[in-house]
Amino acid sequence: MSLRRSVAFRVNLVFDVVLAFTGLGTAIAAVLIVFTRADTLAGWSKAEFLVLIGTYQLITGLRTTFIDPNLSWFPETGIREGKLDGYLLQPAPSLFLSSLSLSSPLQLIQVVLGAGVLTWGIGIADRSPGAAGVVSWLVLVVAGTVVTWALSVLLACLAFWAPKLQLDVFYHSAWQLGRYPTDVFARPLRILLTYVFPMALIASVPSTALLRGPQLGVLLAGVLAAAGAAALAALAWRAGLRRYTGATS
């Protein structure tokens, strides 16, 4: 249904596809410019950077395909326009309906492009990843996607307490930081991006596991972080719903 809606407007389709290409192209160009001046950046080689950008693009693609169409501008669309009221009347869990019922399949182009850059990075890497590296990358990408979903839900939950607070622009800006390894940033920001707003888990951690080999501790921490974030999101949603009195009341 979502796919049919998207391909109905062909010019828009062309715009979206072109923008996906140019957006990724710009990000890669910015990094390649750095590598004309240096061989490594904060200990990361060009190949590792490409793997990181590919992984980041892949998870971003999943987010824009499955999560953003539901939770973007939630205080406005979900609460003030009363979409949530409709979901609460349906028999399926409201958290599922509110966060995953709609999708924007065309954005999957970002996933395909991300996979392409990932393959490029692996292709020019000094050593190809082992089976254990690939498996731990997969596990960490799944964990990163779960954390992404949980962060979006937590952000939406804020609307139950502060309906006027609109943090989407802030969230998408902070998301940009995930495109670079956390090693690049100064220490306070690095700690923030690892433990508070875990952008490190989106791309840095899986990319390290893929090319430098898996570390059991990191793998475990990733899975635990995903489980913890998902549980926290579910709890916050339930607590928010208890406060919620309806858009029209």
Binding site for other proteins (CB under 8 A): 11-12, 15-16, 18-19, 22-23, 26, 29-30, 33-34, 36-38, 41-42, 164-170, 172-174, 176-177, 179-180, 184-186, 189
What span, in angstroms and rounded, lies between the C-alpha atoms of 23 and 19? 6
76 token code pair: 């406005």
Nearer Cβ to other proteins (78/214): 78
What span, in angstroms and rounded, lies between the C-alpha atoms of 122 and 73? 36
Nearer Cβ to other proteins (174/221): 174
220 token code pair: 């475990």
Helix, coil or strand: residue 41: strand
End-to-end Cα separation, the chain, in angstroms: 32
Nearer Cβ to other proteins (15/96): 15
Nearer Cβ to other proteins (119/176): 176
Closest of 114, 103, 104, 109 to residue 14, by C-alpha = 109
Non-local (6+) Cβ contacts of 24 within 8 A are 53, 57, 110, 113, 114, 117
Q: How far is the CB of 97 from other proteins (least distance, A)?
A: 27
The kind and range of the H/E element at 90 are: none
Q: How far is the CB of 234 from other proteins (least distance, A)?
A: 26
CB 117 within 8 A of CB 57: yes
Helix, coil or strand: residue 141: helix
179 token code pair: 């495109």
Q: How far is the CB of 128 from other proteins (least distance, A)?
A: 27
What span, in angstroms and rounded, lies between the C-alpha atoms of 31 and 46? 8
Nearer Cβ to other proteins (21/195): 21
Amino acid identity at 192:
L
Nearer Cβ to other proteins (12/119): 12
Q: How far is the CB of 155 from other proteins (least distance, A)?
A: 12
Q: How far is the CB of 29 from other proteins (least distance, A)?
A: 6
Q: How far is the CB of 135 from other proteins (least distance, A)?
A: 31
Q: How far is the CB of 117 from other proteins (least distance, A)?
A: 16
Nearer Cβ to other proteins (136/208): 208
DSSP E strands in 17-57: the ranges are: none
